[in-house]
Amino acid sequence: MDYGKQQIIESLSGTNPAIYDFLPYLLQDLHFLGTNISAITNLLSKNINLNSVDYKILDLCCGKGAALISLVKKFNFCGVGIDLYPPFIKEAGKLASELSDYSKICFKEMDIVEAVKTLHNFDIVLCGYDTTVLGTETETIIKTAGCIKVGGYILYEAAYPSELNHEQIVLQSGFNIVDKCISDKSTVKKMNEYNTSMISKRALELAEKYPDKAYIFSEYVDNQVNESIELEEKYILVTYLIRK
């Protein structure tokens, strides 16, 4: 299987290569795809003077672009979003076309490995650790830092085991933690329940249409359920605002 496809499937909790073409349908009701937009908005509002300059923001692995579009609308940023999955970039473009000033945002189909090498001079970069394609968490932060200008910020999202001193992993990158937001367990549970219910609904619709592939869709739902349980019981979700 093509490495890019494998990367996409794994980042979206899939295991069977056959699920690839059905992901847009299964995930059509989910817009932010795990991004805690409330945490990001609060961290930016609390810690940065957003009226002082025209901020340029980059969203690595932007999915359908909902988080970036929300920030561009709220803070009047200029934004660039990249993602490797063509259907998501297409959906992001549709959503962005509804903005009053469409020129302030653009979306590109691009691998994150290429992006961190070629996209530079941003004030803020959004990055979540849901793939090891850039290496360890510390390596991911260091490589992402190539996209920001001197004095710029990274909004870094991660899930980590409850017993881990996760701040040390971030600090090893040479960045300082300006602020952080830990997602409330009940909020995570509510989000997971909604996501699973929407995916289950679409999986049933696909199973009716493609009965010979029903096991593929059922397997994907099971993956979601198991991942949600593990996330709620064993992990903590955190969003960091970090800076050199």
Q: What's the CATH number where 84 sits?
A: 3.40.50.150
- The pLDDT of residue 114: 95
- The pLDDT of residue 56: 95
Q: Assess if residue 223 is contained within a domain.
A: no
- The pLDDT of residue 54: 83
Q: Assess if residue 58 is contained within a domain.
A: yes
Write the pLDDT tens digit of every residue in 87-127: 999 999 998 888 777 788 999 999 999 999 999 999 999 99
Q: How many domains does the chain have?
A: 1
- The pLDDT of residue 132: 86
- Is the Cα dihedral 69, 73, 74, 75 positive or negative? positive
Write the pLDDT tens digit of every residue in 167-177: 999 999 999 99
Q: Assess if residue 42 is contained within a domain.
A: yes
HSE toward the beta carbon, residue 135, CA cutoff 13 A:
10
Write the pLDDT tens digit of every residue in 131-161: 888 999 999 999 999 999 999 999 999 999 9
pLDDT band at 1 (very low <50, low <70, confident <90, very high): low
Given a cut of 80, is residue 52 above it in pLDDT? no
Given a cut of 60, is residue 129 above it in pLDDT? yes
Calpha distance 211→159 (Å, rounded): 35
Is the full-model pTM beyond 0.85?
A: yes
Q: Assess if residue 191 is contained within a domain.
A: no
Report, as an integer, the average pLDDT of 47-64: 88
Report, as an integer, the average pLDDT of 18-45: 93
Q: How high is the mean pLDDT of the chain?
A: 92
Task: Could you list the beta-strand ranges (E) of the chain.
Answer: 56-60, 78-83, 105-109, 122-128, 148-161, 176-182, 235-243
Given a cut of 90, is residue 55 above it in pLDDT? yes
Q: How far is CA 9 from CA 6, 16, 64, 133, 144, in A?
A: 5, 8, 15, 13, 22
- The pLDDT of residue 130: 81
Q: Assess if residue 195 is contained within a domain.
A: no
Closest alpha carbon to 74 in 66, 63, 82: 66
Given a cut of 80, is residue 51 above it in pLDDT? no
Q: Assess if residue 220 is contained within a domain.
A: no
Write the pLDDT tens digit of every residue in 230-239: 999 999 999 9
Closest alpha carbon to 32 in 140, 148, 183, 167: 183
Q: From the CA atom positions of the chain, what is the Rg in Å?
A: 18
Q: Assess if residue 206 is contained within a domain.
A: no
- The pLDDT of residue 10: 86
Range of the domain at 60: 3-186+230-243
